[in-house]
A and B are shown apart, each in its own frame.
Chain A
Amino acid sequence: MQIDGMLSGVRVLDSTTNVAMPTAMHILADMGAEVIKIEGHTREEASNRDGPFQFLQHGKLGVTINLRGDGGLDLFKDLAKVSDVLVENNRAGTFQRLGLGYQELVKVNPTLIMLSNTGFGQTGPWRRYTGIGSFLELTTGVSNQTGYMDQGPRQVGGAWIDIHAAWMTVFSILAALNFRAETGKGQHIDFGMYQVGVTTLGVELLDFFSNGRNGTRMANRHPYHAPHGVYPCIGDDKWIAIAVETSEQWDSLKGIMGDPEWANSSKFSSPIERHQNQDSLDEHLKAWTITYDAYELMHLLQNSGGTASIVPNSAEIMIDPHMKARGFYEKMEHSPESGFGTRMFVGRPWKASKTPSYFRRPTPYLGEHNDTIFGELLGLNKKELGDLESANVIAEVPPKPKEKKGKTAAGGLQNLNNPGPSLENGTLAYIDADYQKRLGVEE
């Protein structure tokens, strides 16, 4: 049988915001689920239609419901009745207070799968604490082991833990769908991002229980292999990552370096010595790598059994020949009135042979599918729709997005008080004026 995507025929209600859950929801949409994004058009974030939003919300159908409006809750329940999955990421207890708790919703849909995403889960003393990925990077313990050896802990760039949560949410929903197909049972999944993050430190926890180790910072080094790090190459801010994990790899590296005298010193004669003397080892390596172009060195080392990689920036990774050949980036065509044109987005890190995932539609504008979903799916007539609009339960006339240029609308995932990267403070490396040409998406 032919089906269009792994989740063909599955309907998902997306009542989520921020980064983690919208990411999970667009993955489900790419996999073929009908994802209905519910937005409160009376809320502030309803107006957010910047670049990252276009990526995060793609593939979904969009409706508006004002839950505080008269009849808003009923409309929400009518959608829940005809859906397979509902995902929400309000603070623990919020949906119950609204009358949309799982106990209420199973009355209209006995096999509903509901996933509530929170920072810390639905129970326990921290259940009402807010959870944001970049904060959880610290609280889950990931940061404790991260940083340079002469400094305290550090965070990495980007929103850590959010994507853990996104991917584990997709897993949870698929697991629950499989279980429901076998047993006919839905359930309410209690998804706490904290526990997902802590579980990635399982080995460190066991090391504490067994050996009393409480975590140290090793920069890019490995607990027992050396060399293992990042070394400078020709050019501004160009680097090569090199990992030597076997004696064969060390011998091969020595050969490529031309068997220099220092490399044959007794200081580096065994894996134990190399690990103990890696400060000195790293200095020698740096003096050698700095004479190479990073790409050239990656090919040289990899083609002789080594483990090495360039350290690409976002422009380099987008035009890398391997990533291009793999089709990792996919084009998204936006409507003419959106002002976004065609953009290249990140696809997914896996390929399925029979039911590929792909981008199915751009991000909906606010309330774009009110008529389709409330009219065709729920069977409301024109008058009923009009009444809901007058009562401000659904957005009146779906507002078309304002004319805006892609460049100015781009923004970043604005991280709380972080005004975003800039050239001035060095958090931007440069701005590439020819990026559209380079990506093959010229307007």
Chain B
Amino acid sequence: MIPGLFGNIRVIDLTTDVAGPFATKLFADYGADVIKVEPISGDISRQMGPFHEDDPHPEKSLSFLFLNCNKRGITLNLETRLGQKILRELIKDADLLIENNPPGHMEKLGLGYTDLEKINPNLVMTSITPFGQTGPYKDFSGNDLIYYAFGGQMYISGAYDREPLKHGTPQSLYLGGMVAAYSTAGALFARRALGSGQYIDLSLSEVMAADQFQTIVRYGFSGEVTRRSPKNDAGDPKGTTFNGIVPAKDGYIRLSASPPNRLYPRSGGTPWKEYADILGEPELGEQLENANNTTDRDKILLPVISDIPKFEYFHNLMTKDWNAAVVQTPEDLSNCPHLEERNYFTEIEHPVVGKIRFPGEIIRFPESPWNLRLPAPLLGQHNSVVYGEELGYSENEIVQLKQMGSI
């Protein structure tokens, strides 16, 4: 019986921060045995806020707790020769190795792909770096802000005359994790026909360039260089102030809505009378239809919408097969009836944090479902199991390894 999609796959996870841990979480959540290898002092992301109950404790980083559930954790000092030897022993039986050290660092430790494929030709090794393993910027450093900037996403986001803008949460790192997961899963699948593993070089700044391919394709077809929102936000074709997001009675909604089956209206545009009916303001239909531009339309609509509760606006349009959107807050998501009925939230019992509510199933695979088997590991929690039972070190030897600063 295979307990999940990746039930017979072992992953050695040398990653930190968000992108790599999210990639290995996807494998772990769907059944892979992921061994998270931390330095003796612990993964630096244990120091990343926010913390459970705002208590800055290495077992209470919410980012660490979220990204490392379903993984086992060991400590290992890769800067020592003994540590490098132990990693090679782990690699012998592993299927995947995912790491995010700067280019050249693994080679310096004697743990580059060419070294490791000699030990295990079936190994798939994926390296996640800010700018890739080659090219003039390969040694540049990066973070979420830098990927939004360099990938071109920032230049097209924000107000016309203000500084370019990124998302408020590190979306680029989650996207990097998704690309790492799919490219690695591809190499895993290809092993059967190829007869061996291979090496994958992933660049996080390229992830963001690939994400906003539209403006690049536009330039490549017409020389048109896309900028940000219109000169006057009020003339934004997507709506009005704040790039089309406007205040409703108790929050924000997206002003523009689109009618059913007209995703790409070639002519005509929005049937305003129908829209006004759905809003419960049928007398506005004709005014909206006769309005010359979005600015005039906004003058009619904004006062009306500011009196409508945000979910009422959303559901009234969506149940009529229109497209609408509501800005949900974390609290809204936590109370979302749809997520509730799809059992998205689950509970987890963590030895230090206790019982907490936890976001769960991303995608539903009926034959091999998502499940929560383990909370994020405590620092070195699985040292004795992995080094003792699995690699065959005796209790005395494990004590010695600890004294030597290797584990």
Contacts of B217 on A, CB cut-off 8 Å?
51-52, 55, 345-346
Is the beta-carbon distance between B330 and A201 smaller than 8 angstroms?
Answer: yes
A264 at the interface (CB under 8 A from B): no
Is the beta-carbon distance between B168 and A120 smaller than 8 angstroms?
Answer: no
User: Which one of A68-76, A316-324, A379-387 is at the interface?
Assistant: A316-324
User: Which one of A166-174, A270-278, A359-367, A388-396 is at the interface?
Assistant: A166-174
B188 at the interface (CB under 8 A from A): yes
Is the beta-carbon distance between A419 and B146 smaller than 8 angstroms?
Answer: no
A412 at the interface (CB under 8 A from B): yes
Is the beta-carbon distance between B134 and A325 smaller than 8 angstroms?
Answer: yes
Is the beta-carbon distance between B166 and A352 smaller than 8 angstroms?
Answer: no
Q: Mask for B213-235, Cβ within 8 A of A = 1, else 0?
A: 11111111111111111111001
What's the nearest-Cβ distance from chain B to residue A286, in Å?
10
Contacts of A315 on B, CB cut-off 8 Å?
219, 223, 225
User: Which one of B86-94, B353-361, B380-388, B390-398 is at the interface?
Assistant: B353-361
- Cα–Cα distance between A171 and B218 once the two chains are bound (Å): 27
**Who on chain A is nearest to B219 by CB?**
A314
Knowing A138-B325, A196-B363, say if A177 contacts B189 (CB, 8 Å).
yes
Contacts of B221 on A, CB cut-off 8 Å?
51, 54, 340, 343, 406-407, 409-410
- Which of B168, B228, B363 has a CB less than 8 Å from the CB of A157? B228
A109 at the interface (CB under 8 A from B): no
Knowing A188-B366, A196-B362, say if A6 contacts B189 (CB, 8 Å).
yes
Contacts of A8 on B, CB cut-off 8 Å?
190, 193
What's the nearest-Cβ distance from chain B to residue A278, in Å?
14
A94 at the interface (CB under 8 A from B): no
Is the beta-carbon distance between A215 and B330 smaller than 8 angstroms?
Answer: yes
Contacts of B211 on A, CB cut-off 8 Å?
158, 163
- Which of A135, A157, A203 has a CB less than 8 Å from the CB of B66? A203
Contacts of B53 on A, CB cut-off 8 Å?
210-211
Contacts of A152 on B, CB cut-off 8 Å?
241-242, 245-247, 252
Is the beta-carbon distance between A426 and B226 smaller than 8 angstroms?
Answer: no
Is the beta-carbon distance between A220 and B166 smaller than 8 angstroms?
Answer: yes
- Cα–Cα distance between A8 and B187 once the two chains are bound (Å): 12
Is the beta-carbon distance between B325 and A344 smaller than 8 angstroms?
Answer: no
Is the beta-carbon distance between B189 and A418 smaller than 8 angstroms?
Answer: no
What's the nearest-Cβ distance from chain B to residue A424, in Å?
9
User: Which one of A34-42, A301-309, A370-378 is at the interface?
Assistant: A301-309
Contacts of B162 on A, CB cut-off 8 Å?
148
What's the nearest-Cβ distance from chain A to residue B280, in Å?
20
B149 at the interface (CB under 8 A from A): yes
Knowing A55-B217, A208-B331, A353-B199, say if A219 contacts B165 (CB, 8 Å).
yes
**Who on chain B is nearest to A421 by CB?**
B226
Contacts of A345 on B, CB cut-off 8 Å?
213, 217, 220
What's the nearest-Cβ distance from chain B to residue A30, in Å?
10
15 chain-A/chain-B pairs, Cβ below 8 angstroms: A8-B190, A27-B182, A51-B218, A128-B321, A151-B241, A152-B246, A154-B157, A174-B185, A175-B5, A187-B368, A204-B330, A222-B145, A419-B237, A428-B224, A441-B220
What 12 new A-B contacts, CB under 8 Å, besides A228-B145, A239-B164, A431-B225? A7-B189, A31-B186, A51-B220, A146-B165, A156-B167, A189-B365, A210-B51, A318-B216, A350-B200, A417-B269, A427-B226, A427-B229
